[in-house]
Structure 1
């Protein structure tokens, strides 16, 4: 045979293409895919998807090719066999004995993985060396295992992509990379959210069946081992194919569409995962449209008085040293509340609290991750391309809401029911002067219920009350930022608290239990001496879902937000468009704080306030202003949508949504394009130059 050992690649490739095709069809008809496609669009997605899948499989083939390249009987002959075995043993001892070996320098479990691999190799090589009569059987077993691992990865990846798409409406992205890093929380979340045992048994059974089929069809390839000529042909062929695969993917991954679902469905998840893994932070000036830096800064800072980055805010009224409790609620979309048209009655307490509060009815989250919401509320700056600042190395000594309170003599704490190392929250908040109260601070008797994400919100509410009572005894005012956890998959909570069972694992149950826990918190708070002198800011960190048929579907970024304080904050509704980054500057204005600021959000009640909102994913950066949504993306792409207001008849006062109509470039509002570029370019530049530090 001129091209040696082709059958294993052929069978595995066909299997991979079939699985990927079925997955793509499932995505097309999945309920989360809200777009409608014509027959030609579906055909195009399937054909381009087939090409992407083939290129990805070609790139993974060298691993199997290496297996065949090292098949040989001559290496077991004397003295080569003994020399090779000796070298393997020396490598194993090097990893085991030398404390600072090259593998341990990579950190994590690299050394343990390397030692296990070499150890297994020693065992197999020893058997093959000293039991030549068993060599064929051992080789067949190893070949079966190799095919089994390939098939297992294909099936497991397909299942993983399905569940990821089911959650986010996307292929792999930064979130999937995080899932690899925070394995304890993520694996625990999967175990608590899905029927893992039946699922894994099904995966294992399917893998065994497919592996047996491929093995029986291809094991004859091992009867005659490849000679040196065949190995050279195999190696050179796959070097060429690998180059074709890489170049081909470099082209196909750049094919974009105006419809996000089209892009995601025709893509392959593995290249997207690799891209996310290698692009934690995007260089704005390399990937995004930019203008003269001075022009950008002047355009952006024109909204402030004076128009400079570091400004002094002065109030004509006396400062009010009230306690402040900022509660950021996990995944609370605006449309969960009755005020925005929901009829399920799953937020009765928050809806009643909204009637007594200053409520911001047209406010948007900056992103679709908790760290983005925390970033917006803590740093009060627009989001930047790539990962949140909270998760970057240069995340300390920033100008924060906490630093403002500390300058006023406040105790400043971050409260979280889980382990705050998750998402780098502990490192960020401690590095910016916050004290941490998290699951590590709980005694066993203080926990009535917990899942993988942390203690139940009700338990955290009790701990928060205890913390605030302790702070009051110190005689200092306090600022506490509490991040809730219960409204997160698997949506489990104590039974008997609400009318939805705690083990039902429903989103509505998670929302309603969080609402219940907040009611309990306020019932306890009202009994404390510090309550009359306390302002409560209640806001979501992000929406429950960000999937939509445009890059930034606005209804998936709208969140509830309110400021409540009995006898101080008069109930009213603020209906102008505003951003998460405007909330804390607005609070400081209500407290009449005099302070120096580098915040890029605005006090919504100041004379210079400009209604607008920043919304973003890890790569698409948007500005909502003057009934336009302007989006800038990598490869210096600019899109703009005209926004038409759409009211929900169930709640016309609150439920302002928008239809997004794509505008051709010649119809775009160029002034707003410049303002969008100016905002994100200036923010990225100031962060890079550490000008947003204290």
Structure 2
């Protein structure tokens, strides 16, 4: 049988399989080396990682061979023997080998950036090719990498040329080809039935789970699972109970009702103040970049100085790991629903209860001001549909952008546009709310020369220091404006610079800064309340003493009682609630776990039941968020 297979066209599948497994093995081994200190690989874990990895490798290959199997089956003998077919097959094999080399390099670079296999981020990168292609071109010596892959591919193909030649020369009747094809096409069916994402959950150490995966397989899985039905995949409570718990969480002493309709009237004491809001959301600004939070590299002298003069929130956490999650949380005050963020759910992302809509109703000039092109990540559609005007790179004259890179204009050019818009609003006698989103603190980490003492493009520290310089420069320029005195400058991150850790939701990797600077209106102080990005909108409105109707999940941080403190954090599938040094996690397949002291070197994780009070609190937030969004109960309605 072996000799018979060797004299079959289908031997090509076997040869390429061996090469592909070699590439996958090399990839996994290099990633093990890169992640070795964090992966905690014992001998048993090491064996499990490679064994499960092989299963995923074979599963991906079984799917990939479907079109190849059909081609080898259906091409008649008279065409198989032609020069055209032989040339096509050789080219296809060379392209496949080159693709394997490209995937190997891409996985290493992706891991270096995110410490995970391909996931939703890689899918997004495929969708937004212009920004991503420019970013890769500016970040890496692309011609060198592609050239090395080409040379290696030539060598591998040269080693396999005799086997390819033999397979191209065989004559094989259709009945024999059909027998092979029938057997091979059973493999993807078996993979579909037996292999899923659950297999890779071999450990509580997330690095081990990622190493046991296959990058291309994960890429396809990310396409399939970009949105998850909460009720189908997660543990639920009866809607009436979950609703009552959620109402209790968000209410201000009102009786908890068994309804998910959380719309209510917020009465903030004091006379309403129509102060301007200049909200700067900084790309990837982890709290631990700031000297205020213990960093000794002196990267943020301006932010550290502002922190001393501001209302500084020391225990605020991002809801997710992507820009769109931060935008969603601050704008809509909603927990992260499983799957992709609301910003990117085309057709369902507009006409929602947003901070912009509330302030627009109050007579504010409301603008989303972005350093890049706002079609990226569907941001323009999201903000335009929720009460905001749009200012972005595409609407900014070229001569007013002195420096741009793959992601957009430099931060100081962005602030120039925002200050110009503030001048226009002031002249029109309108208060303004501007939500800015920066781009510089992102690979390729390039910025204008002569701003700081770290060369452009040299890495994250330089980008952080330039980001800090640009904020300081913006504040200095704003101080010379007549609207400065009556403006709240709000500085917050969208997410941290990295969320990888030994556990699925490493709490410390979600810690971000929030400071509110307004010398004439906000006293310098530290607020140590545990809180979330979803609490930013209610807190800002409370600082303005504004009464308003609300469908927000968040609360005024300044009025929170100790028992109300919590942070909501998640990734694409795991949904967490952090409170009282405990992290409760909901996972697909209705799994529930709790970590005690999640910041410990080896946090203790235990399976829990739904009657656990922390888990029920966790379920109430996320079940409620999914229900409310799906039933449009947070749709903007103003009478």
With normalisation by structure 2, the TM-score equals 0.94
Q: 1:33–1:141: structure 2 CA closer, same or farther, 3 Å change rule?
A: farther
Deviation at 1:234, TM superposition (A): 2.4
Per the alignment, residue 495 of structure 1 pairs with 449
1:35 lines up with 2:39 in the alignment: yes
Please tell me whether the aligned partners of residues 538 and 563 of structure 1 are also in contact (alpha carbons under 8 angstroms).
Answer: yes
Q: Which residue of 2 aligns with 1:108?
A: none
CA positional deviation for 1:253: 3.5
Residue aligning to 2:161: 215
Return the alpha-carbon distance in structure 1 between the equivalents of residues 420 and 602 of structure 2.
47
Residue 206 of structure 2 corresponds to residue 260 of structure 1: yes
Pair 1:411–1:162, CA change in 2 (3 A) = same
1:386-429 Cα deviation digits (max 9, x unpaired): 00000002011100000111111000000001100000000000
Write the distance in 2 (CA, Å) between the matches of 1:591 and 1:477: 12
Task: Using the TM superposition, give the Cα deviation of residue 444 of structure 1 relative to its aligned residue in structure 2, in angstroms.
Answer: 1.8
Do structure 1's residue 51 and structure 2's residue 5 form an aligned pair? no
Q: Distance in 2 between matches of 1:6 and 1:315?
A: 73
User: What is the correspondence of 1:407-426 to structure 2 with a 5 Å cutoff?
Assistant: 407-426=361-380
Match of 1:676 among 609, 618, 624: 618
Asked whether 1:550 is paired with 2:506, we answer: no
Matches within 5 A, 1:379-394: 379-393=332-346, 394=348
Question: 1:358-380: per-residue Cα shift (whole Å, max 9, x none)?
Answer: 00001100000000000011001
Within the candidate set 280, 283, 300, 1:347 is matched to 300
State the partner residue of 1:459. 413
Could you say what secondary structure the match of 1:664 adopts?
A: strand
1:598 to 545, 551, 570: 551
* RMSD (Å) for aligned C-alpha atoms: 1.9
Contact in 1 for aligned 2:90/2:164 (Cα 8 Å): no
**What's 1:180 paired with?**
126
> Distance in 2 between the 1:32 and 1:194 partners?
24
| Structure-2 change in CA distance of 1:27 and 1:591 (3 Å) | same
CA distance in 2, matches of 1:277, 1:232: 32
CA contact (8 A) 2:10 2:72 kept: no
Tell me how far apart the structure 2 counterparts of residues 612 and 402 of structure 1 sit (CA, whole Å): 25
Larger-gyration structure (1/2): 1
> What is aligned with 1:9?
13
Distance 1:32 1:468, change over 3 A: farther
Q: CA deviation at 1:74?
A: 4.1
- Residue range with higher mean Cα deviation, 2-11 or 511-520: 2-11
Alpha-carbon separation, structure 2, partners of 1:8 and 1:544:
44
String of CA shifts for 1:158-180, please: whole Å, max 9, x gaps.
22222111111111111111111
The residue correspondences of 1:605-616 to structure 2 (distance < 5 A) are 605-606=558-559, 610-616=564-570
Work out the CA distance in 1 between the residues paired with 2:571 and 2:222: 12
Which residue of 1 is the match for residue 460 of structure 2?
A: 507
Residues 103-138 of structure 1: CA deviation (Å, up to 9, x unaligned): xxxxxxxxxxxxxxxxxxxxxxxxx9xxxxxx6443
Q: Given that residues 246 and 624 in structure 2 are in contact (C-alpha distance below 8 angstroms), is that contact kept between their aligned partners in structure 1?
A: yes
Aligned equivalents of 1:550 and 1:621: distance in 2?
A: 13
Q: Which moved more, 1:238-247 or 1:397-406?
A: 238-247
Cα offset, 1:271, TM superposition: 2.4
SS at match of 1:567: coil
Deviates more, 1:286-295 or 1:664-673: 664-673
Work out the CA distance in 2 between the residues paired with 1:72 and 1:224: 12
The partner residue of 2:433 within 449, 456, 479 is: 479
| 2:135 is aligned with 1:189 | yes
Q: Is the 8 A contact 2:364 2:433 kept in 1?
A: yes
Question: Which residue is 1:317 aligned to?
Answer: 270
Secondary structure in structure 1 of the residue aligned to 2:597: strand
1:230-262, Cα deviation, whole Å (9 max, x unpaired): 222222122223323333423874654211111
Structure 1: which 5+ runs fail to align?
76-127, 129-134, 645-656
Partner SS, residue 312 of structure 1: strand
Say if 2:485 is the partner of 1:528. no
Q: Which residue of 1 aligns with 2:64?
A: 60
* SS of residue paired to 1:361: strand
Q: Measure the CA separation in 2 of the matches of 1:503 and 1:397.
A: 40
* Pairing 1:685–2:631 present: no
Q: Residues 363, 658 of structure 1: CA spacing in aligned structure 2 closer, same or farther, 3 A cutoff? A: farther
**What is the alpha-carbon distance in structure 2 between the residues aligned to residue 252 and residue 600 of structure 1?**
31
Match of 1:661 in 2: 603
Q: Could you tell me whether the CA contact under 8 Å between 2:573 and 2:588 is conserved in 1? A: yes
DSSP 3-state at the match of 2:603: strand
Q: Displacement, 1:669?
A: 8.4
Task: Report the CA distance between 1:616 and its aligned residue.
Answer: 0.3
1:630 maps to which of 584, 603, 612: 584
Count of matched residue pairs: 623
CA distance in 2 between counterparts of 1:274 and 1:486 reads 30
Secondary structure of the residue aligned to 2:39 is coil
**Does structure 2 conserve the Cα–Cα contact (< 8 Å) formed by 1:288 and 1:633?**
yes
Matches of 1:45 and 1:211, distance apart in 2: 29
**What does residue 360 of structure 2 align with?**
406
Query: Which of 312, 329, 334 matches 2:282?
Result: 329
Q: Secondary structure at the match of 1:10?
A: helix
- The secondary structure found in structure 1 opposite 2:624 is helix
SS of alignment partner, residue 30 of structure 1: helix
In the alignment, does 2:20 pair up with 1:20? no
Equivalent in the alignment of 1:559: 512
Deviations 1:464-518 (A, max 9, x none): 11111011111110000000110011100111110001132x0001101111111
Shift of 1:218: 2.6
For 1:607 and 1:680, locate their aligned partners in 2 and report how far apart those are by CA, in whole Å: 20
Q: Distance in 2 between matches of 1:386 and 1:272?
A: 14
Contact 1:33 1:548 (C-alpha < 8 Å) held by counterparts: no
Task: Measure how far apart 1:615 and its partner are.
Answer: 0.3
Gaps of 5+ in 2: none
The whole-number CA distance in structure 2 between the counterparts of 1:31 and 1:256 is 16
More displaced stretch, 140-149 vs 415-424 = 140-149
Q: 1:149 offset after TM fit, Å?
A: 1.7
After TM superposition, the score normalised by the length of structure 1 is 0.87
- Per the alignment, residue 151 of structure 2 pairs with 205
Which of residues 187, 192, 206 in structure 2 aligns to 1:241?
187
Q: Deviations over 1:417-447 (max 9, x none)?
A: 1100000000000011210000122212111
Q: Is the 8 A contact 2:369 2:392 kept in 1?
A: yes
Inter-CA distance 48–191: structure 2 relative to 1 (3 Å threshold): same
State the Cα distance separating 1:51 from its structure 2 match: 2.2
Alignment-derived partner of residue 177 in structure 2: 231
